[in-house]
Structure formats: C-alpha cells, structure tokens
C-alpha cells in the first residue's frame, strides 16, 4: 500500500483545492523554493493520520482570516497488493473548521 494522491483544500498554505499526484511506490522527494509549501505537504499527511500536535486553527489557511473557514486533506492509496493492505481502505479524509471542530 502506498500513497498515490493527496488532496488539500484550505490546509495551511493551500487555500484552494490542490491535488498532488505521481507518487512513486518506493521513494519520493519533495523539492521547491523556500516558502512553497513543502513542509505543509508532510504536515498534511501527519494531520490525516492523527499524529499532529499543532493547534487546529493553525492548520486552516490564514487561520480563517481570508474567508476560508474549513480545511480538509484526503490521502488516496494504491492497495492493489491485498497482502499488505487493510481490507477496503482506498482513501482517508480528515476535515476541520475554524471553530476547531473535526468534521466527519
């Protein structure tokens, strides 16, 4: 099982829906200019997996001050190898609102 796509919407520096694709099953590197959101991609993965200790309001684009009131991140997996994948898991999503609520 490996990530094939990350969908970010309102998460940190990603104000609008952004889809990141073309992940390699073996090895990936995130490159870019300073301030281009590289760390935010890793933070988004941690957020979905529930291993983030950041204030939830800090995860929403400009903390809701730019009219963005919620954030969501979706991880899409390739689980074609059933021996290494949980049964039925294709994607997982986590959403939050400016009020700090986790939305289902």
pLDDT at 83: 78
Which is more confident, 48 or 61? Answer: 48
Number of domains in the chain: 1
Distance of CA 10 to the CA centre of its chain: 10
Please tell me the pTM assigned to this model: 0.86
Query: Which range of residues forms the domain containing residue 42?
Result: 2-103
CATH code of 68's domain: 3.40.50.300
Cα–Cα nearest to 73, from 91, 53, 87? 91
Residue 36 gets the label, from left (phi > 0), alpha (psi -120 to 50) or beta, of alpha
Residues above pLDDT 70, as percent of the chain = 97
Query: What is the tens place of the pLDDT at every residue in 52-80?
Result: 777 887 888 887 777 888 999 999 998 88
């Amino acid at each position: 099982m490996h990530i094939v796509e990350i969908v970010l919407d309102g998460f940190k520096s990603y104000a609008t829906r952004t889809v990141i694709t073309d992940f390699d099953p073996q090895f990936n590197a995130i490159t870019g200019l300073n301030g281009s959101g590289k760390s935010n991609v890793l933070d988004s993965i941690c957020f979905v997996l529930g291993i983030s200790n950041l204030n939830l309001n800090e995860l929403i684009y400009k903390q809701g001050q730019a009219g963005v009131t919620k954030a969501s991140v979706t991880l899409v997996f390739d689980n074609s190898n059933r021996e290494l994948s949980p049964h039925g898991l294709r994607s997982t999503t986590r959403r939050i609102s400016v009020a700090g609520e986790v939305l289902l």
